[in-house]
Amino acid sequence: MIGRLNHVGIATPSIDDAVRVYADLYGATVSRAKFALPEQGVWVAFIDLANSQIELIEPYGDASPVWGFLKKFPNGGQHHICFEVPDIIAARDALRAKGATVLGTGEPRMGAHGVPVIFVHPKDTGGVLVELMTEPSGH
Amino acid sequence: MIGRLNHVGIATPSIDDAVRVYADLYGATVSRAKFALPEQGVWVAFIDLANSQIELIEPYGDASPVWGFLKKFPNGGQHHICFEVPDIIAARDALRAKGATVLGTGEPRMGAHGVPVIFVHPKDTGGVLVELMTEPSGH
């Protein structure tokens, strides 16, 4: 069912600081500069890797779901992994049929890549928060 | 400096159970079955993705560094991310020159892919444990 590892999601109290770290220590560069994704409650920036991406996320607004994560891990840390799927609705329905918990209403929301995404509860995948996103066109 | 995202390292109390989850829920298959890496104190298995891998790690032996992680996260979770570098010694020296902390003695050790690896302290990379590994030949 799953295709590419689209990105590793990393929460940070400051995207600006994190971008500097990845540039200075690892020579990695931003492929998409910081932008707001209010419907997900996050600021987002992408760092390019040869075969995948790092998605840096920072809380946007008081209701951001990332605040809870940063309360536990004030310096940030690995937040989720994101796999591409060909059909997000089919993926959601298959997961539910197998007893997995899709977060929120289960209706796909627009993600940072402009395609629909869902999140699967960490309890279903050994403590790992999994994002599934529709394969971007052009792959 | 860094090249491909070689893998996302995920700690689990049971590789066997985790493999079943990734197969059943996500249709992902093992590319390398569970094997011991005593020098790192881990059992390891790799799950194939189209462009990268998931490395499942389970404690091997009483002194495994993964026990501490599982004490905090009994169901497992995201443990590290691993980037490929062309020259592990040059990478280590450059990181140290920038003030980063390379774990252990800093001498590269043999990793799960049979190439030398080092680990960079999470405090240097926003709470993320970073593994650097020599690019496998044949890339």
DSSP bridge partners of B115: none
Q: What is the pLDDT of residue B39?
A: 87
- Residue B115 contacts A, CB cutoff 8 Å: no
CB-CB contact of A8 with A78 (8 Å): yes
Alpha carbons B44 and B46: distance in angstroms, whole number: 7
- Best of B21, B25, B75 to disrupt the A interface (most A CBs within 10 Å) is B25
CB-CB contact of B52 with A5 (8 Å): yes
Active-site amino acid positions of B:
131
Long-range contacts from B26-32, C-beta under 8 angstroms, 24+ separation: B26/A1, B26/A2, B26/A83, B26/A130, B27/A1, B27/A2, B28/A1, B28/A2, B28/B54
Show Cβ contacts of residue A100 under 8 Å, excluding neighbours closer than 6 positions. Answer: A120, A121, A124, B25
Nearest chain B residue to A70, by CA: B127
ipTM over 0.85: yes
Query: pLDDT of A12-40, one tens digit each?
Result: 999 999 999 999 999 999 999 999 999 89
- Residue A99 contacts B, CB cutoff 8 Å: no
CB contact under 8 A, A83 and B26: yes
* Per-chain mean pLDDT for chain A: 95
Q: What is the pLDDT of residue B138?
A: 60
pLDDT value at A139 more than 70 = no
Nearest CB among B3, B8, B77 relative to A50 is that of B3
Provide the phi-psi class of A94: left if phi over 0, else alpha when psi is between -120 and 50, else beta: alpha
CB contact under 8 A, B51 and A27: no
- Residue B116 contacts A, CB cutoff 8 Å: no
| Alpha carbon separation from A108 to A54, A128, B92, B100 (Å, rounded) | 21, 19, 42, 40
- CATH 3.40.430.10 is right for the domain spanning A7-134: no
Q: What is the pLDDT of residue B77?
A: 98
Smallest CA–CA distance, residue A63 to chain B, in Å, is 22
CB contact under 8 A, B25 and A50: no
Provide the phi-psi class of A27: left if phi over 0, else alpha when psi is between -120 and 50, else beta: left
Query: pLDDT of A93-137, one tens digit each?
Result: 999 999 999 999 999 999 999 999 999 999 999 999 999 999 988
CB contact under 8 A, B75 and A123: yes
Alpha carbons B8 and B81: distance in angstroms, whole number: 5
**Chain A neighbors of B118, CB-CB under 8 A:** none
Q: What is the pLDDT of residue A1?
A: 84
Query: pLDDT of B107-135, one tens digit each?
Result: 999 999 999 999 999 999 999 999 999 99
Query: pLDDT of B76-101, one tens digit each?
Result: 999 999 999 999 999 999 999 999 99
Nearest CB among A54, A98, A128 relative to B10 is that of A128
CB contact under 8 A, B127 and A25: no
Alpha carbons A28 and A7: distance in angstroms, whole number: 14
What amino acid occupies position A65?
P
How confident is residue B103, by pLDDT bands cut at 50, 70 and 90? very high
CATH topology of domain B5-134: 2,3-Dihydroxybiphenyl 1,2-Dioxygenase; domain 1 (3.10.180)
- Residue A98 contacts B, CB cutoff 8 Å: yes
Q: What is the pLDDT of residue B139?
A: 52
Sketch the domain layout of chain B as residue ranges.
Answer: 5-134
Query: pLDDT of B69-81, one tens digit each?
Result: 999 999 999 999 9
pLDDT value at B104 more than 90 = yes
Query: pLDDT of B7-52, one tens digit each?
Result: 999 999 999 999 999 999 999 999 999 999 998 999 999 999 999 9
Alpha carbons A12 and A58: distance in angstroms, whole number: 5
- Could you tell me what percent of chain B has a pLDDT over 90? 93
Two tokens, residue A138: 């052009």
- Residue B5 contacts A, CB cutoff 8 Å: yes
